[in-house]
Chain A
Amino acid sequence: MSCEHANNHKDGGFGVSTKLNVLEHVMVPDHQIMSEDEVKQLYSLYSISSEQLPKIYHDDPSVKTIGAKVGDVIRIIRTSHTAGRAESYRLVIKRPKK
């Protein structure tokens, strides 16, 4: 089972799969990969480098579903109790061992 399962992961959710698409779950906010220009704008807006962004692991279910790679920046749009709509940005990093 473990071997087949590993193969499923590689295709990033494409093809016919019975697996749940986490993005469709009500509790999962919208995840988008940001273009290079958008990322550059984001860095200049907050005058930060990629190091100062919050992080997200590459094997996070929603990261895998949208197919983001290590080094990408993801925009997460949540519904917020206070603001109605809140944007947040995360840098995809590799999950360290253990």
Chain B
Amino acid sequence: MVTYIVRRLITAALILLGASFLVYLLTASSGDPLEEFRASSAPNKQQLMDSRSQLLDLDTPAPLRYFKWLSGAARCLVPFGGSCDLGKNIAGQPITEALGFALVQTLTLVTGATILAILIGIALGIITALRQYSALDYGVTFMAFLFFSLPIFWVAVLLKEYGAIGFNDFLRNPEIPLPVALGIGAVAGLIVAVAVGGAARRRLVSGGIVFLAVSLILIYFSLVQWFRNPGLGPVVIAIAGVGIAFAVTLLVAGLKNRKALQASLIVVALGVVAYFAVQPLLNQATAVMIVLLGIATIGVGVGTGFLMGGYDRGQSMRAAGITAFLVGGLILMDRFMQAWPSYFSNSRVRGRPIATIGAGTPNIQGDFWVLTLDTFTHLILPTMALILVSLASYTRFTRSSMLEIMNMDYIRTARAKGLSERSVVMGHAFRNALIPIATIVAFDIGALIGGAVITETVFSVRGMGFLFLDGIMHTDPNPVMGVFVCVAVTAMVFNLIADLAYSALDPRVRIKA
């Protein structure tokens, strides 16, 4: 095992050395860094050219410059040495500083999108595998192929037009005409009718209920101008919480486990009480406090589950913990909605909240809630675009993995033992189907920090992809090398982790030392 890891790391280091040498030479030879001065008619043209030559050390041939760069970069390997030197970019800024900034930008952009895409993709994949050859399966398959074929910059322009400009115009006068409300309700009902499966009567009833509910809610929203002054309130949180409690218990423990259900319901009641208790506290919120509150919430949930016990204490704890987390999320969402009007009327936002470019409104003032909302409104479009294009592969992969597992002999054995369908799907099939997905996820997380070059360009986020592209455009090797080294190292480390995780999760796969 250790031999294997050491060998992998040494090979990786050698590959990295070779590839970085190539990347340096390629970047240096990709253009002329002095080009913009050559054609200029500025009187101090020669001086400008000289200073840039000096900054980029152009008198030294590129292969030698690589080794100069390498000697600086090698000092980054010394932990806490503080002498990390990746050179400077064309504007004279140290690369380590630029990388730090870009990394934060990129991670805020892609983390949420990746997590959401993984969750939604896996859920869709499992549902379509369980309903193989149903209308839902065909629909999702078609959508997956469609999303897979979309160029992201094309989606981005459409989102900007309809998601941002259209929605902002709508917010100016948030009234939904009756036919539109009915239409949206009908579409939602149709989707549900297709998705639930089963007999025609069942489909019709579920679809009808959803149609009525969605239409009525939209009409209500329109009447009270909900989109201007959104909010959930304790009543909605309580109702939604009970729904969440039932759904989570159904998935985690099965409704037959009464203790788990009771634990989840108790947690919901605690949540509604906490809703009133924490409001004054939330008014002085900081990010750290939210995280601490979240941990406390999960702790309370798990504790309740532990106290309730039942024939399977672990199931109760899991059900109550997840319920607590979700109810806490609802309370948080409600607090964000309370801050919405003040964000909406902020002098920098001027009633057009959904932004099309950038990572934040410049010079915005406000408390934690307003500032976080500002980040959200800037993230929402790129996140949607990224989810759309990366959803497809997760869905397809999970579906085929799940289908293969469902045809295995041990699934038949599980059924023959008389286990409930829930425990066959969730306990036997789902967990094993996750093994190959875990490796894909590890790869994707490794690729995360490379950023999404095109998404960052379209939405003007100055992240890693932007830094990289900018370096290429200016024939500036240092930022390109900085990004490349970061991306390559994480990608290699996560490849290794993926391989190790696979052999840890699936004992049939042995690592050859």
Whether chains A and B associate is no
Binding site for B on A (CB under 8 A): none
